């Protein structure tokens, strides 16, 4: 029984997080998100990045909306999670709005820039 309650609780928390971030697509400020993404993520996630922590080059069109959703849902598993933890909830919502809103399969895929 306890196990079942735990499972429901986990599922509920997961759902709330998911809904929260899905909602962020409309609540977050995509324009600010673009700025924050460039400021906080792009140093490591760009072509030719150097330093101790070099990530895969990324842009909004590197992933589908579902993939970005998954990244945000499961960022705790990412090697750069310590960097995520430094961002406020508002910043994360803004970055999400930018990446999700201009994803590979979005209605407005980002143009290379």
Residues 42, 62, 67, 80: which binds other proteins (CB under 8 A)? 42
Residues 29, 73, 83, 87: which binds other proteins (CB under 8 A)? 29
Output 5 or 112, the one with its CB closest to other proteins.
112
Output 5 or 89, the one with its CB closest to other proteins.
89
Three-class SS of the chain: CHHHHHHHHHHHHHHHHHHHHHHHHHHCCHHHHHHHHHHHCCCCCCCCCCCCCCCCCCCHHHCCHHHHHHHHHCHHHCCCHHHHHCCCHHHHHHHHHHHHHCCCCCCCCCCCC
| 109 contributes a contact to other proteins by CB under 8 A | yes
Output 74 or 105, the one with its CB closest to other proteins.
105
What are the structure tokens assigned to 91, written together?
A: 């910043």
* Residues in 62-101 that interact with other proteins by CB under 8 A: 64-65, 101
Residues in contact with other proteins by CB under 8 A are 29-32, 35-36, 38-39, 42, 46, 64-65, 101, 104-105, 107-109, 111-113
């Amino acid at each position: 029984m306890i196990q079942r309650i735990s499972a429901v609780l986990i599922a509920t928390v997961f759902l709330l997080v998911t809904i929260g971030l899905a909602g962020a697509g409309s609540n977050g400020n995509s324009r600010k998100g673009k700025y924050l993404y460039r400021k906080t993520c792009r140093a490591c996630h760009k072509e030719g990045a150097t330093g101790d922590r070099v990530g895969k080059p990324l842009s909004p069109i590197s992933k589908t909306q579902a993939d970005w959703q998954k990244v945000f849902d499961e960022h705790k598993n990412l090697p750069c999670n310590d960097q995520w933890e430094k961002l406020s909830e508002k910043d994360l919502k803004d970055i999400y709005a930018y990446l999700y809103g201009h994803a590979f399969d979005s209605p407005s895929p980002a143009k290379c820039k």
